Structure 1
Amino acid sequence: MSRKKILYVEDDNTLAFLTSDNLEQYYEVVHFANGKDAFDAFKKEEFDLCILDVMLPEMDGFELAAAIRERNLAVPIIFLSAKTLKEDRIKGLKLGADDYLIKPYSIEELILKIEVFLQRSHKVTPTKSTACTIGSFTFDPENYVIIKGDEKISLTERESALLKLFIDNKNTILKREKILRELWGTDDYFMGRSMDVFISRLRKIFKDDETIRIENIPRIGFKLVAP
C-alpha cells in the first residue's frame, strides 16, 4: 500500500529536519520553507494532508490555508504555531483548518493527529446523494454547496458533513459526543471548540431565514429546527 503524502511547510530548518525525519518513518513528506513554493507544489501535486506553520515568509500559513481551501475543500490541514492567542486558533479554524497545535509539540501527538485526520477524511466523504431543500435554501452535499437563488455558498467537507448530519436528524437533539465522534473521530475539548466554529458559520449562513435555527441544548448538544 502506498504511503500517504504530506505537504509540510516550516521555515525553521532545525525543527523542519527533526519533524520531517520522524514523519518520514510513516509518510512521504514534501517539505518547503515558504508558503509560495508550497502552494506552487500544491497546485501541481496531490497531497493527503497539509501541515502548516503560521509564520512563513512570502505567504504566511493563514494565506496559504485560504489558497489551499479555494482549490480543495477536503484535504485535512493542521497548523503548527508558537502563536498561542485564542484569536489565532479561531482564525485558523475559520479558514477551514482541522487542528492547531502549539509549539513545542510532541511528535507522538502530531502523528496521532495525522492518523485521526487521515482516517476521518475517508469517513466523512459524503455518499452519492441528491440535493435537498432546507427552508429557502438548497443543500447539495455531493458538491459541498448551499444555494439560495443565484447565490452559491461553498462549504468545507467538514461543514458539509456536519450539515448533512443535522438534516438527517432534523428536529431531533444531537449529542455533542455523537457529532464529534462521527465527524472528528474523537470528542476531546479542542475538537469541540472546532465544531462550535463550524456551527457558528452555519448559523450565519441561515440567519436570514427565520424558519431555520440551530439550537444549543445546554450540557447536551444541538438541534436543527427546520420545516
Structure 2
Amino acid sequence: MTITSPRGRTEMLRPDGSPVRVLVVDDETSLTELLSMALRYEGWEVRSAGDGAGAMRSARDFRPDAVVLDVMLPDMDGLAVLGRLRRELPQVPVLFLTAKDSVEDRIAGLTAGGDDYVTKPFSLEEVVARLRGLIRRSGAAAVRSESLLVVGDLTLDEDSHDVTRDGQSIHLTATEFELLRYLMRNPRRVLSKAQILDRVWSYDFGGQANVVELYISYLRRKIDAGRPPMIHTRRGAGYLIKPGEPGDAPR
C-alpha cells in the first residue's frame, strides 16, 4: 500500500503495516552503502551482504520482499545465488546488477529466473523505481488509494471516514476518528500523551492528559473488542498501534 509521508513522498508498506524489506548483495562496499541509504530514504528496511554465502544467511533470517543482486560475487556468481534463493524463497523478486550489457548476459540472467536487471553505472532513482514495480507485482506490498490507511486487518479511509476491521464496519465519533487516524499514520511507533493531545486536540489540556486514556479506552472497545488487540500501552511512554497477532488474547 502507499501512504503520504510527512516529507511529501509516498511510502510503500507491507500488508501488515511494517516496512518493505530489501536485501542488497554486492561486494563493492561503497555501492552497497549508497544503495542502502537510498532505499532507507524510501522508508524501507535494508540489509546487505558482500558475497553469496552472506546473502543466503541474510535471506533466511531477514525474509526480504525483494533482492538486489550483483552478478559478480567473490565466492560464487549471482546466477548460483539466485538458484539457491529460488529454492528457499520462490516468490521473492530479484533485480540483477551487472556491469555486462551484452544481450547474452541479459538473457542468461532472466532465463535463470531473475525478474529484472540494471547495468552499471545506474541511477539510484531507476533502481528504486524498478524495485517498486517488482514488489507491487509480487504482492508483497499492495497499492491502494493514498486516502486509505491500513494496519493489519484494520482500514481507515481519510476521505470517506469509513473504518473497518476484518471487513466489519466500525462507527467512530469525530474525535475517535482523529485519534485512530493519528495512531494509524504512525504504526508501531509509541506516541506520548503530550503528542496525542497536541495532534488530536490541538492544544494543551493543562494536565488533563486523562482525556487521552479515556478516548483510548473508547477506541479499544470498538476496535479490539473480541479480537486480538491492536492498540497497546507502553507504561510511562504512551500508546501505539500494530497488527493484532493470532496468538494474542482477544479483549
State TM-score, norm by structure 2: 0.47
Q: What are structure 1's unaligned runs of at least 5 residues?
A: 124-227
Q: Which residue of 62, 68, 74 corresponds with 2:91?
A: 74
Q: How is 1:138-149 mapped onto 2 (pairs within 5 angstroms)?
A: none
Structure 1 letter corresponding to 2:37 = D
Q: Deviations over 1:96-150 (max 9, x none)?
A: 1110100111111111111111110119xxxxxxxxxxxxxxxxxxxxxxxxxxx
Matched, 1:99 2:122: no
Structure with greater contact order relative to length (CA < 8 Å, sep ≥ 6)? 2
> Does structure 1 conserve the Cα–Cα contact (< 8 Å) formed by 2:47 and 2:58?
no
SS at match of 2:22: strand
Q: How is 1:89-168 mapped onto 2 (pairs within 5 angstroms)?
A: 89-122=106-139
Match of 1:7 in 2: 23
Match of 1:28 in 2: 45
Match of 2:54 in 1: 37
SS at match of 1:40: helix
Larger helix fraction of residues:
1
Q: Could you tell me how far 1:41 is from its partner in structure 2? A: 2.0
Q: Could you tell me how far 1:59 is from its partner in structure 2? A: 2.1
What is the alpha-carbon root mean square deviation over aligned residues?
Answer: 1.6
SS at match of 1:44: helix
State the identity as a percent. Answer: 37
**Whole-angstrom CA distance in 2 between matches of 1:22 and 1:72:** 24
**Whole-angstrom CA distance in 2 between matches of 1:43 and 1:17:** 21
SS at match of 2:80: helix
Matched, 1:48 2:65: yes
SS at match of 1:24: helix
Aligned residues: 124
Specify the structure having the higher radius of gyration (Cα).
Answer: 2
Q: What are structure 2's unaligned runs of at least 5 residues?
A: 1-16, 141-251
